[in-house]
Amino acid sequence: LDPKPEHVERLIDIASPLQQAGAYLVTAQLKDGNTSRIIVWVADTAIVKKPLDGKSWYYVADAVSGRPIEKANVEFFGWMQENVQRKPNQFRILTKDFAEFSDADGQVILDEKRLPPNHQWLIMARTDAGRLAYLGFTGVWYPRYHNPEYVQRKVYLITDRPVYRPAQSVKFKFWLQQAKYDQPDQSPFGNKSFTVRINNPQGEQVFEKVYKTDKFGGLEGEWPLADEAMLGQYQLYVKDFGGGSFRVEEYKKPEFEVTVDAPTEPVQLGDKITATIRAKYYFGAPVVKAKVKYKVERTPHTARWYPIGPWDWFYGRGYLWQGYDYTWYPGFAKWGCFRPVPSWWGRGQTPPELVSEQEVEIGADGTVTVEIDTLPAKELHGDQDHAYRITAEVVDESRRTIVGNGNVLVARQPFQVTTWVNRGYYHVGDTIQANFAAYTLDQQSVTGTGKLTLYRISYNDAGEPQETAVENWDLNPDAEGRATQQFAASAAGQYRLSYNVTDAKGRAIEGAYVFLIRGDDFDGREFRFNDIELVTDKTEYAPGDAVKLLINTNRANGAVALFLRPTNGVYQPPKVLRMD
């Protein structure tokens, strides 16, 4: 080791002589110094664990390819600690051990009798050829498979307004239904009696009445608020079902209003923004004796355009999207469209960055001008779009405070072009329908001229994509920024469909999409994919349809364990597929 001046550590790479799987003790010793030791595991085999319906599933596979290891000797060693009766603070250790051979698909499936959940387990897999893998110590649990996501009782509430004043009447309607794929139109809760209750903001019950539903499971009612009704949020619900809420508030018309006049169209990242804070009385005169406290905050902004589908209201915008994020493909971040984030992933909110904060006297015309420089955001976050929020608090000479705000979108490029096709993959001879859309960051359409190019993709020895143009079209977007093109899937392979749009100001933006055409004996070995991809032949299916699923991986001769309809972390036994 040769540390740099004033440095006490250094990282170096050492070629390992280890060629066999196992655990090795590595010792490092400094001259006339300390000795350090660490255990290094070299694995040629892996063990994967999943909970099944009342069972535990273990998969023994090659650590590189993922192919199953048949007839591996899988040893299970478990231990637990229990208290010795009549002897406080004394315990004994109980152990249990046994072994099983993995089946032809590398699987070992055990139930609670063989693998008690009150033990901690060390699992090791060995073969006669010298393979070795271990997992643990680890616990086990045995959940039961059920379908709460697909069979649920639902209650839907609407009120004639979200906020009421005292002495007004709250008009409401409920619908009670069972959410199930094969549920008939008629509600199982139709023509039945249910109790409706209202709780005030302190949780006290202030209303209860029994209603009878119609054949659709609907009921409606009305509750008059008292003149001195408690202010705050009320809970309105059907007993044993659920419901929603409404608010009761006093209303006092403000004497003046505060507005923030800011650019309504997206601003180019790096430019300066000018916004005007304006305060005026409702009779028209400006507020001239007041203090203005304003702050400017910046957050990342994402507003990708996805094709509109008939079930967007249910599955979310972009559910039709079948393309994958090929971040390894050169230029994808510029011309590609990232997949929508699944709802079950959750979306963390980035805290806003405080750009500026000031307190100033309002001008003689009742305005304050705010200038925002977006150049720092371009230098630090040039790969993102941004939203700037301006919040202004105006306090007049009577100490009345009114708040106003405005928003400005800042785009790193003038518009975006989205390219997609109507199916997940194609076979030679199919007709491909390609679609295109050009929109600004605030979802306004872009018109101009367009050039469409179909590239065939191949890969060199270094695994880098090489493109060859096979067809071109002149294709201009219409008044709504949309365009379509049909062409035949004439040859098997991987393709990139690129659409370049030039707007009226001469600014050109590319949007592209990578897709696959399959032919006879096509196995995709000469192409690159993500680590694993699940691609369906269509975007939507009706009950009774058959799904043709294409599985792509980034490794030839591997294996995939395909689980159908897992729910709440519980699986049914998988189908192990060899990617030969």
Which DSSP string corresponds to 536-548? ES-S---TTPPP-
Q: What is the CATH number of the domain that holds 100?
A: 2.60.40.10
* Distances 546 to 320, 471, 516, 520, 553 between C-alpha atoms, Å: 18, 33, 20, 21, 22
Give me the domain span that covers residue 280: 256-304+340-411
- The C-alpha angle with vertex 457 and arms to 455 and 463, in degrees rounded to 5, equals 150
Residue 157 and residue 161: Cα distance in Å, rounded? 12
Same domain? 270 vs 376:
yes
Residue 67 and residue 560: Cα distance in Å, rounded? 8
DSSP assignment letter at 68: B
Task: Supply the pLDDT for residue 442.
Answer: 93
Task: Supply the pLDDT for residue 578.
Answer: 92
**Given 141, 172, 206, which residue is the final one in a domain?**
141
Same domain? 204 vs 183:
yes
For residue 35, the cross-strand partners are 29
Residue 329: inside a domain: no
Same domain? 111 vs 191:
no
Same domain? 106 vs 128:
yes
Same domain? 199 vs 101:
no
Residue 340 and residue 36: Cα distance in Å, rounded? 47
Same domain? 34 vs 126:
yes
Residues of the chain with pLDDT under 70: 1, 145-149
**Given 106, 141, 176, which residue is the final one in a domain?**
141
Residue 136, amino acid = G
Residue 475 and residue 125: Cα distance in Å, rounded? 59
Residue 324 and residue 547: Cα distance in Å, rounded? 19
Task: Supply the pLDDT for residue 146.
Answer: 66
pLDDT tens, position by position, 271-319: 999 999 999 999 989 999 999 999 999 999 988 899 999 999 988 899 9
* Distances 403 to 278, 285, 322, 357, 389 between C-alpha atoms, Å: 11, 18, 44, 15, 13
Kindly tell me the sign of the dihedral angle through the C-alpha atoms of 361, 363, 366, 369: negative
Residue 53 and residue 173: Cα distance in Å, rounded? 40
Residue 220: inside a domain: yes
Same domain? 264 vs 242:
no
pLDDT tens, position by position, 79-127: 999 888 777 788 889 999 999 999 999 999 999 999 999 999 999 999 9
SS3 call for 400: coil
Parallel, antiparallel, or unpaired for β 242-248 and 163-164?
parallel
SS3 call for 344: helix
Which helix (H) or strand (E) covers residue 334, if one does? helix 332-335
Same domain? 156 vs 272:
no
Same domain? 210 vs 289:
no
Residue 517: inside a domain: no
Residue 325: inside a domain: no
Residue 73: inside a domain: yes
Q: Of 168, 440, 406, which is closest to residue 275 (Cα–Cα)?
A: 406
Same domain? 273 vs 202:
no
Tell me how many domains the chain contains: 3
Decide: 535 and 550 in contact? Cβ < 8 Å.
yes
Other beta carbons less than 10 A from residue 296's beta carbon: 22
Same domain? 263 vs 376:
yes
Phi-psi region of 539 (alpha: psi -120 to 50; beta: other; left: phi over 0): alpha
Residue 32 and residue 55: Cα distance in Å, rounded? 55
Sort 348 into a burial class: Cβ within 10 Å, 0-12 / 13-18 / 19+.
Answer: exposed
Same domain? 8 vs 101:
yes
Give this prediction's pTM.
0.80
